[in-house]
């Protein structure tokens, strides 16, 4: 279990193995590779996952589905028939299907020959005609067999296996003294999201579950949404010392939606500052643009202090953005991105009448558009990065005039032996002045 490798304050409640977390780390980002991939084409961690962990997980899944006795009998037959010969994977598939009288496409075409994903969810449960009618939804492409377990006080009372399915279906499960049903309780599947795998058998909101909380960050609890708490200390020249408690849901494994809120209180300015953000990670499928990230970030702090009239001036920044990853070789170290970012910036300014008497404050508002191409090469020897950006800004200056400009910039950084190097040339393509 992963908990065996972590300090107790981080491992409490964790129930995933190290290999499962490693698989999810790659699979949720769609960077995993099929086990049939040749060894020289595997990317780092994918060699361990594809060559060793995923095939072992696949045959453990098959053993759970068939039962140990039937599985052992089929494998013994395979050994006897192919002893001292050279079988291919297709020979193994043909024999296993013959001995079990079942289609094993999910095992070979799903687990071994592709990086298709599996993600079942329990959607509903009700008693009807002397049985429990359970709603199941397949949220991914792969349709392997699965088991449902009936639990009472965290003890398994009953379980039943089902053939794989696509889309949404209603299945029948025996009535019993259960307080919840759990899909794949014994973890035979490499399920992408286990927090939708359980449902209570009674109550107003059977799918709702209490969140789990952790300190700093870590690996999530399988069946509960996990939030992480951060003690915060910060300092800047105007707010001085700030303290707060942050909360976020970032962990070792990427989620479809990730967010953070880091509030900070300044006793000097007596206001709440901080940063916050949310992002959605979208994977439309293989192709030229396989990964899309929509994000919204915001921040607010004190940016200046007027000593003569003794008042603080705030600033804020709100930034929606879209980043798209361009497809590249899965075993390479280089990644390419296209990014569009908008900055809404507000800077508080003092207002004075014609005699120079302070009248209060108001915000000047700036709007920036930034289009960029980004290259990131994270190879161990001589890593390097490049960012080519086109920036457009319009704003209102202190005289009420609205200048604007268009600027092109290049930022290149890298390591050469014993030296770090970088360059950032740029220039204005067009602009107006007040």
Distance CA 161, CA 146 (A): 6
> Cβ of 153: how many Cβ atoms within 10 Å?
9
pTM: 0.84
pLDDT at 396: 63
6 — pLDDT class (breaks 50, 70, 90): low
Domain ranges of the chain: 14-112, 120-200, 212-431
Helix (H) or strand (E) holding 422, with range, is: strand 419-423
- For residues 131-159, average pLDDT: 96
Residues pairing with 316 in the sheet: 300, 346
pLDDT at 204: 79
Is the pLDDT at 33 greater than 80? The verdict is yes
Which of 46-50, 110-114, 335-339, 414-418 shows the lowest mean pLDDT across its residues? 414-418
Question: What percent of the chain shows pLDDT beyond 70?
Answer: 91
> Cβ of 131: how many Cβ atoms within 10 Å?
12
- For residues 36-62, average pLDDT: 92
DSSP per-residue string spanning 186-212 = T--S-BS-GGGSEEESSSS-TT----E
363 — pLDDT class (breaks 50, 70, 90): confident
Between 426 and 166, the higher pLDDT residue: 166
7 — pLDDT class (breaks 50, 70, 90): low
Distance CA 135, CA 252 (A): 30
Question: What percent of the chain shows pLDDT beyond 90?
Answer: 65
Contact between 141 and 116 under an 8 Å Cβ cutoff? The reply is yes
pLDDT at 375: 94
Contact between 178 and 151 under an 8 Å Cβ cutoff? The reply is yes
pLDDT at 337: 96
For 81, list phi and psi in degrees, rounded to 5: -75, -25
Is the pLDDT at 209 greater than 50? The verdict is yes
- For residues 95-102, average pLDDT: 96
- For residues 249-277, average pLDDT: 95
pLDDT at 362: 87
CATH number for the domain running over 120-200: 2.60.40.10
Going 231 to 321 to 221 to 122, the CA torsion angle's sign is positive
Is the pLDDT at 158 greater than 70? The verdict is yes
434 — pLDDT class (breaks 50, 70, 90): very low
Give long-range contacts, CB 8 A cutoff, 24+ apart: 349-355.
349/313, 349/398, 350/306, 350/309, 350/311, 350/313
Beta strands in 286-403 (DSSP E): 291-306, 311-326, 334-352, 358-377, 384-395
Which of 131-135, 408-412, 425-429 shows the lowest mean pLDDT across its residues? 425-429
Neighbour order of strands in the sheet with 155-162: 155-162, 146-152, 180-183, 198-200
How long a stretch of residues is the chain?
A: 434
């Amino acid at each position: 279990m992963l908990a065996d490798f972590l300090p107790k304050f981080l491992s409490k409640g964790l129930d995933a193995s190290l290999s499962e977390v490693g698989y999810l780390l790659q699979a949720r980002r769609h960077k995993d590779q099929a086990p049939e991939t040749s060894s020289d084409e595997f990317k780092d961690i994918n060699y361990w996952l594809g060559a060793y962990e995923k095939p072992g997980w696949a045959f453990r899944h098959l053993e759970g589905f068939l039962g140990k006795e039937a599985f052992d009998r089929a494998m013994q037959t395979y050994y006897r028939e192919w002893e001292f010969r050279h079988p291919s994977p297709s020979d193994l598939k043909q024999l296993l299907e013959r001995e079990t009288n079942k289609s094993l496409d999910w095992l070979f075409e799903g687990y071994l020959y592709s990086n298709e994903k599996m993600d079942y969810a329990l959607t509903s449960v009700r008693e009807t005609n002397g049985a429990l009618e359970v709603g199941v939804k397949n949220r991914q492409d792969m349709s392997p067999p699965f088991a449902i377990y009936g639990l009472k006080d965290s003890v398994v009372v009953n379980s039943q296996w089902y053939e794989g399915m696509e889309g949404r279906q209603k299945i029948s499960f025996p009535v019993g003294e259960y307080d919840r049903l759990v899909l794949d309780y014994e973890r035979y599947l490499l399920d992408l999201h286990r927090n939708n795998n359980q449902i209570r058998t009674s109550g107003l909101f059977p799918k709702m579950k209490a969140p789990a909380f952790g300190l700093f960050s870590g690996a999530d609890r399988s069946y509960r949404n996990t939030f992480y708490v951060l003690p915060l200390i910060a300092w800047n020249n105007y707010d001085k010392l700030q303290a707060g408690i942050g909360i976020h849901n970032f962990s070792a494994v990427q989620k479809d939606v990730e967010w953070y809120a880091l509030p900070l209180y300044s006793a000097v300015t007596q206001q709440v500052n901080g940063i916050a953000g949310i992002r959605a990670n979208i994977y439309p499928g293989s192709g030229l643009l396989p990964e899309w990230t929509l994000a919204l970030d915001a921040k607010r702090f004190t940016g200046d202090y007027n000593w003569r009239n003794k008042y603080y001036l705030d600033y804020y920044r709100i930034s929606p953005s879209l980043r798209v990853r361009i497809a590249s070789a899965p075993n390479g170290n280089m990644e390419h991105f296209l990014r569009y970012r908008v900055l809404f910036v507000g800077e508080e300014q003092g207002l004075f009448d014609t005699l120079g008497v302070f009248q209060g404050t108001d915000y000047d508002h700036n709007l920036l558009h930034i289009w960029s191409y980004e290259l990131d090469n994270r190879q161990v020897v001589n890593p390097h990065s490049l960012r080519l950006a086109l920036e457009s800004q319009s704003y209102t200056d202190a005289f009420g005039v609205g200048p604007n400009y268009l600027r092109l910039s290049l930022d290149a950084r890298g390591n050469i032996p014993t030296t770090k190097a970088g360059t950032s040339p740029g220039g204005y393509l067009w602009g107006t002045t007040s």
